[in-house]
Amino acid sequence: MKFRRLAGALLLACPMLAQAQILTFKASVERALKENPEIAAADGRIAQASAALKAAERARLPQINAELSVANTDDALNVFGMKLSERQATFNDFGANEFNPSNPNVLSVEPKNLNRPGDWTHYNAKLQLLIPIWNGGRISGFQNQARAFTEAARYGKEAVRQFLTYNVFRAYDGVHTARAYIAVARKALEAANSYVKTTKSMVEQGIVVKSELLRALVHRSEAQQALTEAENQEQLALDALRTLLALDMGESIDVGERVTIDLPSEDVVELVSMALNRNPKLVALRKQYEGELAGVQVARAERYPHVNAMAEKDFNSDHFGLQADSYLVALQARWKLDAGVTGATIERARAKAQTQAARLQSEENQIRLKVIQAWRNWQVANSKITTTRLNEEQAEEANRLVLKRYKAGVATITELLASQAQLDKARADHVAAVYKANLYKAELRWLTGTMTLDNL
Q: Which domains does the chain have, with CATH numbers?
A: 21-61+137-309+341-447 (1.20.1600.10)
Q: Could you tell me which residues come within 8 angstroms of residue 291 by beta carbon, excluding any fewer than 6 positions away? A: 144, 145, 146, 148, 149, 152
Q: Rounded to an integer, what distance in angstroms lies between the CA atom of residue 263 and that of residue 159?
A: 19
Q: Could you tell me which residues come within 8 angstroms of residue 252 by beta carbon, excluding any fewer than 6 positions away? A: 16, 17, 19, 20, 21
Question: Would you say residue 128 has pLDDT above 60?
Answer: yes
Amino acid identity of residue 272, one-letter, is: V
Q: Which of 16-30, 95-109, 173-187 has the highest mean pLDDT?
A: 173-187
Q: Which of 204-208, 334-338, 417-421, 446-450 has the highest mean pLDDT?
A: 446-450
Q: What percentage of residues in the chain have a pLDDT greater than 90?
A: 69
- Give the pLDDT confidence score for residue 19 in this predicted structure: 63
pLDDT, one tens digit per residue, over 182-215 is: 999 999 999 999 999 998 998 888 888 889 889 9
Q: Which of 23-32, 36-45, 406-415 has the highest mean pLDDT?
A: 23-32
Mean pLDDT of the chain: 90
Length of the chain, in residues: 456
3-state helix, strand, coil in the chain (%, to 5): 70, 10, 20
pLDDT, one tens digit per residue, over 224-256 is: 999 999 999 999 999 999 999 989 888 899 999
Residue 262 — very low, low, confident or very high, per pLDDT cuts 50/70/90?
very high
Residue 319 — very low, low, confident or very high, per pLDDT cuts 50/70/90?
confident
Question: Would you say residue 17 has pLDDT above 60?
Answer: no
- Give the pLDDT confidence score for residue 446 in this predicted structure: 97
Question: Would you say residue 18 has pLDDT above 60?
Answer: no
